[in-house]
Amino acid sequence: MSSLAKRRTNKRLTLLLGFALLSPSVPAQQQTDYVFHAESDLVLVNVTVRDKNGDFVRGLKPEDFTILEDNKPQRVVSFDIENVDAVATQDVAQTKPLPSPLSLVPAANAPATAANAVSQFKDRRLIVLFFDLSAMEPDEIDRGVTSAEHYVDTQMAPADMVAIVSLGSSLLVNQDFTSDHDLLKKQIQAFGTGAGQGYEEGTTGTTEGTPDTGQPFTADDTEYNIFNTDRRLEALRSVAEKLAHVQQKKSLIYFSSGMDRTGIENQSELRAATNAAVRANMAIYTMDMRGLQALVAGGEAQNASLRGTSAYSGQSMISSLNSNFTTQETLVTLASDTGGRAFLDSNDFSQVFKGVQQDTSTYYLLGYHSSNPARDGRYRRITVKVNIPGVKIDYRRGYYAPADYQHSTKEDKELQLEQELSSELPTTDLPLYLGLAYFRMEPNKFYIPISLVVPGSEIPFTRSSDRDKATLDVIGAVFDSEHHPVDRVRDTVKLAVDTASQVQKKNVQYNTGLSLPPGKYHLKFVVRENQTGRMGSFETDLSVPDLKSQPLKMSSIILASQLQPAKNGAFPSPLIRDGSEIIPNVTHVFSAAQDLRLYYEVYDPAPARAGQSKAGESNAPQNEAGAAKPGIHLLTNVAFFRGRAKVFESAPVELTELNARDRKAGVFQLDLPLSQLKPGFYTCQVNVIDDAAGSFLFPRLALLVRPDATAAR
């Protein structure tokens, strides 16, 4: 789809968004016994205890430790000691990558239980080398490659298991966890052959203090910087979440050239990355591969002279120092908030590997369940004490508590929707139903009306002023047969009615539409009610037919019981006629007191022959001279069956000319009272005949007629 067509589609989506209340209520989803919820509130703390000589203090027991959270004592429920140094005397060299539950790329024969993961990686040092190729110049990558090779050759201990991850155009696992030196060096050396992306943080559009390269202006890259930083932080979060099921401490060494943040724009993703690392017991060690830098007041010799007066006032030097500081500040935050360390302004890059090995050689692993049940997302400070005087204790100082929906930020809520949309598993906390159809607008373009239905009884209401109000968030995506995204829907529906009971007995329906060419598609929609944050998802396949080869070209059939006034300025949808919009009935459930409205279209019918009509008399339109004009001859009616017995059939409707000439369509809109049908299930057969072409179709739909509740009273 071209960019112009896509913009038109987005505009059409905006204009057609709406909601309606349906009379029949959708039955709530039945509860089953097969409900699985996995949630752990165990807080893990790695504690290193050293004496005055720097030696690790061994032999401590759980009762020797006191853990405070926000100055309130906590009970230690799990206790273990990890002694990586003990593996030094064992022959642990691996000739192949070790398949395991820790594997970033799961092996087919890998055990999947957390218990196996704990036992297999007991007393192992788990290290992830993360090369951020999107943020380093080639010379910076060469420094990272050299330092990593030096670690593998001279510093890598027998207990070390190392994985290699890189971020370029996408996040890749280049080497899974292994102790094989040759495999690690082969992948590390591959980064030295033009793997860098050469990205440099852009400016904010001002020319003051920038090199005068002769360009008429300086581009404003602020929004790109925001996106790029979020992308890098999200990659760190993804690695942490992948390793969260292993309790042992993990160390991630992050090779980069700094990370800039724009105000508070990246705060949500930074917090999500640090929280994921803390929950996964993964410490991040950050390395600034720019090394020790010399900042020159007048600019570097290889650059052009600086614009403006800042080079003479000292402002350019201050700006350079501030820029360098801001790119390093995020690295320091990532390290300090996850229990790692930041290595900055140094050309000795081997220090980071020594620091990781020292921090993870031997440590106590303590776990406790917080006595604070509030899910408020606030920072909680951890204090660990040992009943031995004169020792030094190292541990992480706190964590962010999990946040329920009401305490989540706007950015977190939006991220929740995006994650659910991309999830391979459905969510069913909020019942959701979806209906689709297709109508031809042009020879190679179809309008797809989409209807989402949520039972009104599932939406909680809060009293505000004199009206009950609720809000629904809607997000959806359409993918083609290759699973490439084609279009998206994102909207917030504000529902306001006079009484909550009016909605509780009915359903809330959200209608939208989009334009697609013929083909096979996959749709997924997620709806969230914003009182408790419950979500429901629905996904289905859609086949938009190419009608060119069909003898009788027909649209979908819409069953409806309600009309609503069309909004001013709404895009001309086929479902809008004479100022009213047809509201599709997704459930096909009707009351006996309602009228059944059927809407469908026939395209490119054959020209009628002169004198052709159902009565054998000429019915072709005539011009002023009395000569017959080319017309059509379409016949249709509806029959209702219970089992094999026909219980009702409507009178035939005849169409002799196109009533939607711009689309070469003959439109049928039938209105049938259901009072003459007894309550029960029916098969509705729509008979369509193109008498001139001798072609016909008899599509069938199921529907349910319920008793008239008002008559019963």
* Res 19: pLDDT: 45
- Sequence-distant (6+) residues with CB within 8 A of 400 are 271, 274, 275, 278, 377, 378, 379, 380
Q: Which has more confidence, 220 or 289?
A: 289
Domain of 189, CATH number, reads 3.40.50.410
> Among 515, 530, 513, 525, which Cα is nearest to 567's?
513
Q: How far apart are CA 513 and CA 449, in angstroms?
A: 4
Residue 690's domain comprises 588-713
Q: How far apart are CA 285 and CA 350, in angstroms?
A: 12
Kindly tell me if the per-residue pLDDT of 179 is higher than 60.
yes
The residue-averaged pLDDT of 397-407 equals: 82
Query: Is residue 14 assigned to a domain?
Result: no
User: Is 254 in contact with 140 (CB distance < 8 Å)?
Assistant: no
Query: Is residue 485 assigned to a domain?
Result: no
Tally DSSP H helices, then E strands, for the chain.
Answer: 12, 37
Ramachandran category for residue 645: left, alpha or beta (phi over 0 → left; psi -120 to 50 → alpha): beta
Q: How far apart are CA 214 and CA 551, in angstroms?
A: 65
Q: What phi and psi values does residue 387 have, to the nearest 5 degrees?
A: -80, 35
Query: Is residue 189 assigned to a domain?
Result: yes
- The helix-helix angle for 267-279 and 315-338 (nearest 10°) equals 30
| Contacts of 242-246 spanning 24+ positions with Cβ under 8 A | 242/104, 243/102, 243/104, 243/126, 243/128, 243/280, 243/282, 244/276, 244/279, 244/280, 245/101, 245/114, 245/117, 246/101, 246/102, 246/114, 246/117, 246/118, 246/121, 246/126, 246/281
A 10 A CB-CB count for 314 gives 10
Distances (CA, A) of 195 to 127, 184, 190: 22, 16, 8
The residue-averaged pLDDT of 455-473 equals: 70
Q: Which has more confidence, 561 or 292?
A: 561
Kindly tell me if the per-residue pLDDT of 581 is higher than 80.
yes
Count: domains in the chain: 2
* Res 3: pLDDT: 35
- Which of 312, 347, 366 is the C-terminal boundary of a domain? 366
* Res 130: pLDDT: 94
User: Is 364 in contact with 81 (CB distance < 8 Å)?
Assistant: yes
* Res 515: pLDDT: 93
Q: How far apart are CA 25 and CA 21, in angstroms?
A: 10
Fill in the DSSP letter of residue 29.
P
Q: How far apart are CA 145 and CA 153, in angstroms?
A: 12
Q: Which has more confidence, 606 or 216?
A: 606
Q: Say how far residue 208 (Cα) sits from the centre of its chain.
A: 40
Strands (E), 247-337: 250-256, 282-288
User: Is 690 in contact with 633 (CB distance < 8 Å)?
Assistant: yes
Query: Is residue 253 assigned to a domain?
Result: yes
* Res 91: pLDDT: 46
> Among 416, 380, 383, which Cα is nearest to 399's?
380
* Res 310: pLDDT: 55
Kindly tell me if the per-residue pLDDT of 682 is higher than 90.
yes
Residue 230 burial (C-beta neighbours within 10 Å; 0-12, 13-18, 19+): buried
The residue-averaged pLDDT of 228-249 equals: 85
The residue-averaged pLDDT of 394-413 equals: 82
Query: Is residue 395 assigned to a domain?
Result: no
Q: Which has more confidence, 75 or 265?
A: 75
* Res 621: pLDDT: 52
- Which of 319, 342, 366 is the C-terminal boundary of a domain? 366
What pLDDT digit, counting tens, does each position of 27-63 carry?
A: 444 444 433 444 557 888 889 898 988 888 988 999 9
Q: Which has more confidence, 215 or 564?
A: 564
pTM for this prediction = 0.62
Kindly tell me if the per-residue pLDDT of 1 is higher than 50.
no
Q: How far apart are CA 48 and CA 119, in angstroms?
A: 21
Please name the residue that has the structure tokens 């943020």.
Answer: 135
* Res 188: pLDDT: 92
Domain of 664, CATH number, reads 2.60.40.10
How sure is the predictor about 303, in pLDDT bands with cuts at 50, 70 and 90?
A: low
Q: To the nearest whole percent, how much of the chain has pLDDT over 90?
A: 37
* Res 525: pLDDT: 96
- Which of 366, 387, 409 is the C-terminal boundary of a domain? 366
Q: To the nearest whole percent, how much of the chain has pLDDT over 70?
A: 72
How sure is the predictor about 463, in pLDDT bands with cuts at 50, 70 and 90?
A: low
Of the ranges 112-116, 165-169, 338-342, 377-381, which one carries the lowest mean pLDDT score?
A: 112-116
Q: Which has more confidence, 215 or 104?
A: 104
What pLDDT digit, counting tens, does each position of 55-92 carry?
A: 889 889 999 999 999 999 999 999 988 877 665 545 44
Query: Is residue 391 assigned to a domain?
Result: no
- Sequence-distant (6+) residues with CB within 8 A of 616 are none
Query: Is residue 311 assigned to a domain?
Result: yes
Q: How far apart are CA 683 and CA 680, in angstroms?
A: 10
What pairing do the DSSP bridges indicate for beta strands 125-132 and 160-167?
A: parallel
Query: Is residue 145 assigned to a domain?
Result: yes
> Among 329, 344, 318, which Cα is nearest to 262's?
329
Which strands form 160-167's sheet, in the order they lie side by side? 171-178, 160-167, 125-132, 250-256, 282-288, 342-343
Q: Say how far residue 712 (Cα) sits from the centre of its chain.
A: 48
**Mean pLDDT, the chain, as a whole number?**
78
